Amino acid sequence: MLTPYLEKTATDVCRSVCEAYGLHQAYFAEIIGPRRHYLVGCGEPTTEQPSQLALSERIAFFWCGELPPGQRDALRERLQGLAERLEDELGAPHAPSGVTAERPLRKEARNVMPDPLTPYGNRPMVTPIVNAVNYEYASFEVLRQITDGEIDGYTYHRDDNPTVREVEHNIAALEGAEDCIVCTTGMAACTMVYLTYLHAGDHLLLFHDTYGAHYKVSLILERMGIDITWMDADGAARIDEALRPNTRLIFLETPSNPLCKIIDLRQVREAADKVGAMVVADNTFATPYHQNPLEFGADLVVHSATKALGGHNDIMAGAIACSKAHYNELWFTRQAIGTTLDAYSAFLLNRGLKTFEVRAAAMAHNAQRVAEFLAGHPKVSRLSYPGLPSHPGHEVAQMQMSRGFGGMVSFDVGGNQDDAKEFINSLKLICHAVSLGATETLICIPYLTTMLYLPPERRTTFGVRENTVRLSLGIEPAEHILDDLKQALDAV
């Protein structure tokens, strides 16, 4: 009865078992017999009776059904005894000529890790880094189920990856979204949005007050026949005037980068509905700790997860939180163009998310303290933080943000760029670096950094000045940051 299976490998047996019992996966535990190894299997819960299957160098017994641990151990013992008897009946292990049974070249000899999440019910406390490019299909039936979308399964990294998928679920939860699609960078996320939803002849509404690289992307989009209007976030209340019947998408940031301007999301939603446009909000500055744009009518929420979600200056990633339907559309684009995040970065991003809320709270606390200090300082000629009642968007920010107003502050130092440079050169704790949302407090001059891609005249059209600095608060004690700012401003 066992003979037909003698040429089969362990993986073939797993496949046969899955196919025979309609299982998604079957797990096999290894038993070291006196002369060779045996595999004892445990499948997904089913009411089937126990059955046996065998394989070449090894012998597998398949038990259908989940057993309580005590019974499972008893079964193991019984099967081990049976294995020893069968070994006597079968004689010497079968092996290809010239290859010993101890060093088989068969598939099962490879060090293939079983799914670490489920055997015996113990689960790792961290998300495993699954660095696989491809996955061995359990059966043609499983292949069909994956490709027909009946089950979540993994086949090729550009399509999907379990480490990435885990982080997607976690970001979706933070944004109150049905799902989330994660990709290689924040700009990749923005570009995926444009590529997914815009067609030649569509009109795109962009705000000057968005991260500088959008300008570069806009040049590419124009080449592809997209019509683009740029407007100042200060005039967002009059957005109706900029919309057209063919406006397909409105992309905005609130608070904006770098001037922390506030846009009323509900107002934009109302205007967009009149022309059937989508509203996409970049929530990088606010973070989902303080603001969930989907609640206020945004269709998609974009993140540079490089920033506060990752939080440690050690990964680049992008994320789009959205409905399941949008996830499917964006997934198609990601799969097609290959902007899937690598598993190691996904792991680090997931690790960052574990402390995200405490970090976001600390950053906002520090930002509020710093903004209140800077508000009265004679060397600060202009200040923007939505948590200050003097900020023109404070009321709207109070309505759509909660638990604080984020960790970003921008201000002008003295009267010219040399003043700003002298101030930054005098800082001892705060780091002169781009990026934001990290554990360390970071400062930069947007005119020379994030806005550098824009032609000089465009850099200043919406309020950025040559001496404007952008401060991203970290999680250091507020007093240390305040002391550093005080002494550096004194030096100007």
Ligand X SMILES: Cc1ncc(COP(=O)(O)O)c(C=O)c1O
Catalytic residue list: 158, 211, 282, 307
The answer to whether 447 contacts ligand X (rule: CB under 6 A) is no
Q: Quote the CA–CA distance of 155 and 85 in Å, as a whole number.
A: 39
Q: Quote the CA–CA distance of 90 and 140 in Å, as a whole number.
A: 31
Select from 185, 247, 291, 292 the one that contacts ligand X (CB under 6 A).
185
Say which residues have a Cβ less than 8 Å from residue 389's Cβ, sequence separation at least 6.
Answer: none
Q: Using CB under 6 A, which of the segments 184-192, 327-335, 369-377, 416-424 binds ligand X?
A: 184-192
The nearer residue to ligand X, 257 or 291, going by C-beta atoms, is 257
- In a 13 Å sphere around the CA of 11, the CA atoms on its Cβ side amount to 14
The nearer residue to ligand X, 39 or 260, going by C-beta atoms, is 260
> Please, what is the minimum distance in Å from the beta carbon of residue 69 to ligand X?
46
Give the CA dihedral 442, 448, 451, 453, nearest 10 degrees.
Answer: -130
> Please, what is the minimum distance in Å from the beta carbon of residue 19 to ligand X?
44
Q: Quote the CA–CA distance of 36 and 34 in Å, as a whole number.
A: 6
The nearer residue to ligand X, 14 or 217, going by C-beta atoms, is 217
> Please, what is the minimum distance in Å from the beta carbon of residue 283 to ligand X?
8
Please report, as residue ranges, which positions from 419 to 438 form the binding site for ligand X (by CB under 6 A). Answer: none
Select from 186, 255, 404, 446 the one that contacts ligand X (CB under 6 A).
186
Q: Using CB under 6 A, which of the segments 45-53, 124-132, 180-188, 340-348 binds ligand X?
A: 180-188
Distances (CA, A) of 280 to 14, 257, 283: 46, 15, 9
Q: Using CB under 6 A, which of the segments 17-25, 130-138, 179-187, 425-433 binds ligand X?
A: 179-187
Residue 251 contacts residue 230 (beta carbons within 8 Å): no
The answer to whether 257 contacts ligand X (rule: CB under 6 A) is yes
Say which residues have a Cβ less than 8 Å from residue 340's Cβ, sequence separation at least 6.
Answer: 157, 158, 159, 160, 161, 164, 183, 184, 334
> Please, what is the minimum distance in Å from the beta carbon of residue 188 to ligand X?
7
Q: Quote the CA–CA distance of 458 and 438 in Å, as a whole number.
A: 28
Q: Give the chain's end-to-end CA distance (angstroms, integer).
A: 90
Give the closest residue to 384 by CA, choosing from 401, 367, 366: 367
The nearer residue to ligand X, 306 or 368, going by C-beta atoms, is 306
The answer to whether 61 contacts ligand X (rule: CB under 6 A) is no
Select from 253, 412, 466, 484 the one that contacts ligand X (CB under 6 A).
253
- For 436, the 3-state DSSP assignment is coil
Phi, psi dihedral angles at 313 (to 5 degrees): 60, 25
Select from 211, 251, 289, 405 the one that contacts ligand X (CB under 6 A).
211
> Please, what is the minimum distance in Å from the beta carbon of residue 98 to ligand X?
54
Select from 300, 316, 388, 481 the one that contacts ligand X (CB under 6 A).
316
Q: Using CB under 6 A, which of the segments 183-191, 334-342, 361-369, 453-461 binds ligand X?
A: 183-191
Q: Minimal CB distance to ligand X: which residue?
A: 186
H/E element holding 256? none
Q: How many residues bind ligand X (CB under 6 A)?
A: 13
> Please, what is the minimum distance in Å from the beta carbon of residue 410 to ligand X?
12
The nearer residue to ligand X, 167 or 316, going by C-beta atoms, is 316
> Please, what is the minimum distance in Å from the beta carbon of residue 212 to ligand X?
8
Residue 197 contacts residue 223 (beta carbons within 8 Å): no
Q: What string marks each residue from 265 to 304 as x (binds ligand X by CB under 6 A) or -?
A: -----------------x-xx------------------x
Residue 423 contacts residue 413 (beta carbons within 8 Å): yes
> Please, what is the minimum distance in Å from the beta carbon of residue 282 to ligand X?
5
Quickly count: other Cβ atoms within 10 Å of residue 435's Cβ.
Answer: 18
The nearer residue to ligand X, 146 or 349, going by C-beta atoms, is 349
The nearer residue to ligand X, 243 or 309, going by C-beta atoms, is 309
The nearer residue to ligand X, 11 or 210, going by C-beta atoms, is 210
Burial letters 112-125, b for 16+ CB under 10 A, else e: eeeeeeeeeeeeee
Whether the ω angle into residue 258 lies within 30 degrees of 0, i.e. cis, is yes
Binding site residues, ligand X, CB under 6 A: 185-187, 211, 253, 257, 282, 284-285, 304, 306, 316, 318
